[in-house]
Each structure stands twice: as structure tokens, then as C-alpha cells.
């Protein structure tokens, strides 16, 4: 691949992991839409907005991941059936409380972060700095969102670790 100065055979493992991340993000996105539409209770207003912000961000990342795969000159996965088969994240039901929804998202984040680490590992093996940069930024953002969601479900009497 002349314009990227990288060899296709070294990029293939990165693309495979990016496609899995793409599938994970699609199911995560749909879980967020599910929660946005079905949230009830005293935290409705706050979480309805939060879920919308998260799914809007996820939609952007879905596009960026697919475009990165295209930049590497491969086809991104693009069928729902394939997303459901490849994703590490599973669809969720609508019968969850507000805190259960947030806890489910924290678990989805852990899965996304694990998959992002796999992408980074393969991209590093291929000297693919563009993918490392893209996913590195996603990791930082998702870790912060996870911290905030985790703080939401904590009992106010819980404390952080002491130095």
C-alpha cells in the first residue's frame, strides 16, 4: 500500500480487530438507544440526556472506525447479522432499572476497552500510528465516561482509594 507505507499483510490483524470493535460499537449504540427510549424513574431527565449524548458519540465513532478500515484499504463489516455474530457485547432487554442500565453500560465499556487494547496491540505490530492515535483517544474518553457512570451507581458513603 503505497500511500500509507505499510504492508497489507501486516495490517490484516489490525483490520480484523477494528471490525470486531465496529461490531461492538454497533451493539453498544443500540443498547444506548434502547435505554434512552425506555428509561423510567426519578433519574429520567438526567439519564435520558446522558444516553442520548453517549449514543451520539458512539454513532460518530462507528463512522470513524469504518473510515479507518477503509483508509487501510479494507471493507468494514456492514451487516447487522455480522455485527451480532462478531460483537463481544450482547443486546440487552428493556426491563432494567435506571441503575441497572448504567451498570450494563459500565460493563459494555469494559468490553469496548478490552477490544480497543487488542486493536492497539495489532496496530503496534504493524507500525500503524494512525490507528493507535485514533483508538488511544477513544480509550481516554471512554475511561472518563466509565468513571462518571461508576460514580452515579455508587453509594454516596463509598470512598475512593487513599494514597
User: Half-sphere exposure (CA, 13 Å, Cβ side) for 45?
Assistant: 1
- Per-residue pLDDT reduced to its tens digit, 44-80: 999 999 999 999 999 999 999 999 999 999 999 999 9
Domain range annotation of the chain? 8-152
DSSP-assigned letter for residue 15: H
Rounded CA separation 94/141 (Å) = 26
Burial 27-41 (b: 16+ CB within 10 A, else e): bbbbbbbbbbeebee
CATH number for the segment(s) 8-152? 1.20.1260.10
What share of the chain has pLDDT > 90, as a percent?
A: 87
Neighbour-count burial of 105, counting CB atoms closer than 10 A to its CB (0-12 exposed, 13-18 middle, 19+ buried): buried
The DSSP symbol for 97 reads -
| pLDDT tier at 2, thresholds 50, 70, 90 | low
Q: Are 110 and 132 in contact (CB under 8 A)?
A: no
Answer whether residue 147 shows pLDDT above 90. yes
Contact 148, 154 (CB under 8 A): no
Is residue 84 within 8 Å of 20, Cβ to Cβ? no
Amino acid at each position: 500500500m503505497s500511500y500509507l507505507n505499510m504492508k497489507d499483510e501486516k495490517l490484516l490483524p489490525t483490520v480484523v480487530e477494528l471490525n470486531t470493535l465496529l461490531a461492538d460499537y454497533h451493539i453498544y449504540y443500540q443498547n444506548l438507544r434502547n435505554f434512552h427510549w425506555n428509561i423510567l424513574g426519578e433519574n429520567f431527565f438526567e439519564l435520558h440526556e446522558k444516553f442520548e449524548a453517549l449514543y451520539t458519540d458512539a454513532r460518530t465513532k462507528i463512522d470513524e472506525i469504518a473510515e479507518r478500515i477503509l483508509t487501510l484499504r479494507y471493507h468494514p463489516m456492514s451487516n447487522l447479522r455480522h455485527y451480532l455474530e462478531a460483537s463481544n457485547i450482547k443486546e440487552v432487554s428493556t426491563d432494567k432499572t435506571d441503575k441497572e442500565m448504567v451498570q450494563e453500560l459500565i460493563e459494555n465499556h469494559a468490553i469496548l476497552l478490552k477490544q480497543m487494547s487488542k486493536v492497539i496491540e495489532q496496530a503496534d505490530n504493524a507500525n500503524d500510528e494512525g490507528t493507535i492515535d485514533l483508538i488511544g483517544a477513544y480509550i481516554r474518553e471512554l475511561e472518563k465516561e466509565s468513571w462518571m457512570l461508576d460514580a452515579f451507581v455508587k453509594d454516596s458513603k463509598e470512598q475512593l482509594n487513599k494514597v
